Amino acid sequence: MSNNKKPIYNDEQVEKLASHIKAIIELLGEDPSREGLAKTPQRAAKALIDNTSGYHSDAEQLIKQALFNHEGDEMVIVKDIEFYSLCEHHVLPFYGTISIGYIPDGEIVGLSKLARVVETFARRLQVQERLTSQVCEVVAQNIKNKGVIVVCNAAHMCMKMRGIEKQATTTATMQYCGEFENVELQNQFFNLLNTKN
């Protein structure tokens, strides 16, 4: 898990998941008792629990833990927040970066909380479009702001490993509200994203 804390596993949950994974391995024509696979059901169960840990995190509460008064109204951007998620259609990974911009209206949030919000929604069975809109919505609703914009760029293993098998394909999604309806402000956001540190 990305919070650097050792995950606490529910033994009953791990064993239930592991039994299903063992059955899947058998249905695929493999021997789950052979040396290389003997502990795979438990390892895979724990990996699934890790990769769906966002179901046990409350994005709104994360934001509310770190709100601060702020008089300025200049755009705040946290860019290139990396994430890893699981496609809800094939349970295969998709991964990439999310950039968040907002215009404060008397309030700002601790920057790390925006990354934690991304993690909360990414660590669920997801689609990129929903992930992008969920991040935008929770930021817009829980920080006093004049506008929010979220851009997500991702690569999908369901397109690389199966189906169409196009290796270079990436997907971009965007969600915005408030003053970011203004195209000039969107352009300013994208210009700042392209500025090298």
The number of angstroms, rounded, from the C-alpha of 154 to the middle of its chain's C-alpha atoms is 10
Instruction: Give the pLDDT confidence score for residue 68 in this predicted structure.
Output: 98
In angstroms, the CA 20 to CA 26 distance is 10
Residue position matching structure tokens 């951007």: 77
143 dihedral zone (left: phi>0; alpha: psi -120 to 50; beta): beta
Instruction: Give the pLDDT confidence score for residue 163 in this predicted structure.
Output: 84
Question: How many CB atoms sit inside 10 A of residue 182's CB?
Answer: 12
In angstroms, the CA 73 to CA 196 distance is 23
Instruction: Give the pLDDT confidence score for residue 125 in this predicted structure.
Output: 98
pTM over 0.75: yes
Instruction: Give the pLDDT confidence score for residue 65 in this predicted structure.
Output: 96
Token pair in block for residue 47: 């990996």
Give the strand order in the sheet containing 125-126. 125-126, 76-87, 93-104, 145-156, 171-178
Q: Tell me the domains of the chain and their CATH numbers.
A: 11-51 (1.10.286.10), 59-193 (3.30.1130.10)
Instruction: Give the pLDDT confidence score for residue 132 in this predicted structure.
Output: 98
Instruction: Give the pLDDT confidence score for residue 197 in this predicted structure.
Output: 63
Instruction: Give the pLDDT confidence score for residue 2 in this predicted structure.
Output: 46
Q: What is the mean pLDDT of each run of 10 residues along the chain (197 residues)?
A: 64 97 98 97 97 96 97 96 98 98 98 98 98 98 98 96 88 98 97 85
Active site residues: 87-90, 128, 156, 158
In angstroms, the CA 165 to CA 33 distance is 32
Instruction: Give the pLDDT confidence score for residue 131 in this predicted structure.
Output: 98
Going by C-alpha positions, the residue among 168, 156, 17 that lies closest to residue 89 is 156
In angstroms, the CA 95 to CA 188 distance is 26
CB 130 within 8 A of CB 154: no
